[in-house]
């Protein structure tokens, strides 16, 4: 039985865009994890080699990150217990915002409780300046929810089609336009043509927004993200991201022009009415960002592992698009076959997640990820076991 790898642009099930809010027919399974590291998890008393999640640099267990959290916990406690615009602000929050703006090459930055609320807070501020949002049809659900809730006139463009985005932007240029896209799409690992989308902006009153949760710490100059990858910067660029994936911490951030960040601070209820990231987490995120900025070896290790993983999975008959990212999404020719391989791998001590999540190539699909902490032996073991099971199930 031949292996069937998705063509994400043509597979009929892929048309269920992530902007839709309808949940999948079946609930994605939850895994009860007892303990975990960047490469392993203890599940049911067994240590399992894992290729799931989004901790791409393995920083959640880094000693400098952990030490920063403990030190801040001793001085600032667990929570500010109030909005930052009342009594809940700390120097740690402000310092992290400066660090993020510097790293991402933007004028300013502001923190939000997490990545989903970054898009919500941004959209609430956008509504004061712009009327039309032009959104990649497979952008994260938080994007669609945010721009619709803010009252913007929402138009979607075909996945990765900068030409269609340009046409829509030109049609609505006199109303104030934002083009909104994921940088790296979480479900399938595709990468937005950010330079072409930036070129598609009308000359006046326009903005490109990149939700870069899966490009931050992965793409670009030492992990500076999708905008860096494509060489774009300036006052018509805004970036939203999470601190939970590349940095291995928790929280969200918006980075962009200073006037827009001030609008968020003034007008975004999601920002003004919420308790911020706990100070120890903000301190740990500062430490994680410093590790990335000061030591390029982590990003290089991730990229080496991505190349190794691509090579190993290619030997098993799988193919993935460029540019290389740490997300490896594929499906086989039947759900039953995928379930059998997924369970067999787990019995052999390997977690290769078979998930249901919007924006993927089908209702169920494999989504494997790699981290900077995986070793060549880990990757080789996955490839060896996966290739054997694919042959057995053929």
The answer to whether 285 and 300 have CB atoms below 8 angstroms apart is no
CA distance 94 to 111: 9
Tell me how long the chain is. 394
Q: 41-55, 61-75, 126-140, 359-373: lowest mean pLDDT where? A: 359-373
Read off the pLDDT of residues 246-270 as tens digits, 9 standing for 90 and up.
999 999 999 999 999 999 999 999 9
CA distance 38 to 55: 7
Sign of CA dihedral 135, 217, 239, 66: positive
Q: In this predicted structure, what is the pLDDT of residue 126?
A: 97
Looking at 15-19, 139-143, 332-336, which range is the least confident one?
A: 15-19
What angle is formed at CA 211 by the lines to CA 206 and CA 213, rounded to 5 degrees?
A: 160
CB 251 within 8 A of CB 244: yes
Does residue 175 sit in helix, strand or coil?
helix
Closest CA to 179 of 199, 189, 188: 199
Give the single-character DSSP code of 150.
T
What's the mean per-residue pLDDT of the chain? 91
The model's confidence at residue 223, banded by pLDDT at 50, 70 and 90, is very high
- Please, what sign has the CA dihedral across residues 133, 217, 352, 334? positive
Look up the pTM and report it.
Answer: 0.91
Say if residues 117 and 240 touch (Cβ distance below 8 Å): no
Domain 12-56+296-393 has CATH 3.90.1150.10: yes
pLDDT tens digits, 343-367: 999 999 999 999 987 777 778 899 9
Q: Which residue has the tokens 């609505």?
A: 172
Looking at domain 62-294, its CATH class is alpha beta
What is the structure's pLDDT at 108? 98
Helix (H) or strand (E) holding 299: helix 297-315
Q: Where are the domains of the chain?
A: 12-56+296-393, 62-294
């Amino acid at each position: 039985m031949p292996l069937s790898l998705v063509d994400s642009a043509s597979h009929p099930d892929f048309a269920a865009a992530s902007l839709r809010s309808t949940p999948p027919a079946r609930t994605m399974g939850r895994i009860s994890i007892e303990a975990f590291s960047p490469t392993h998890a203890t599940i049911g008393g067994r240590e399992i080699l894992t290729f799931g999640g989004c901790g791409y640099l393995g920083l959640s267990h880094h000693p400098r990150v952990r030490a920063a959290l403990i030190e801040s916990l001793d001085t600032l406690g667990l929570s500010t217990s109030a909005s930052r615009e009342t009594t809940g602000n700390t120097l740690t929050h402000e310092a992290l915002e400066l660090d993020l703006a510097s790293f991402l090459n933007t004028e300013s930055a502001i923190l939000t409780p997490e990545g989903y609320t970054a898009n919500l807070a941004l959209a609430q501020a956008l509504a004061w300046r712009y009327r039309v949002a032009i959104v990649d049809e497979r952008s994260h659900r938080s994007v669609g929810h945010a721009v619709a809730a803010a009252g913007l006139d929402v138009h979607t463009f075909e996945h990765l089609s900068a030409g269609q985005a340009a046409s829509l932007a030109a049609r609505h240029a006199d109303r104030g336009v934002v083009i909104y896209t994921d940088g790296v799409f979480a479900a399938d690992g595709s990468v937005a043509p950010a330079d072409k989308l930036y070129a598609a902006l009308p000359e006046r009153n326009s903005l490109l927004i990149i939700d870069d949760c899966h490009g931050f710490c992965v793409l670009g100059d030492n992990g500076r993200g999708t905008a860096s990858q494509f060489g774009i910067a300036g006052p018509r660029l805004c970036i939203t991201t999470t601190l939970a994936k590349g940095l291995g911490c928790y929280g969200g951030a918006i980075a962009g022009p200073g006037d827009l960040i001030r609008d968020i601070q003034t007008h975004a209820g999601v920002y003004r009415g919420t308790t911020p990231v706990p100070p120890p987490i903000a301190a740990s995120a500062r430490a994680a960002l410093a590790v990335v900025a000061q030591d390029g070896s982590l990003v290089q290790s991730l990229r080496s592992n991505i190349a190794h993983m691509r090579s190993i999975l290619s030997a098993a008959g799988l193919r993935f698009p460029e540019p290389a990212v740490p997300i490896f999404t594929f499906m086989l020719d039947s759900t039953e076959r995928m379930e059998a391989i997924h369970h067999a791998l787990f019995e052999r001590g390997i977690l290769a997640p078979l998930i249901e999540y919007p924006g993927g190539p089908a209702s169920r699909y494999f989504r494997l990820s790699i981290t900077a902490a995986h070793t060549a032996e880990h990757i080789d073991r996955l490839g060896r076991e996966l290739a054997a099971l694919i042959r057995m199930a053929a």
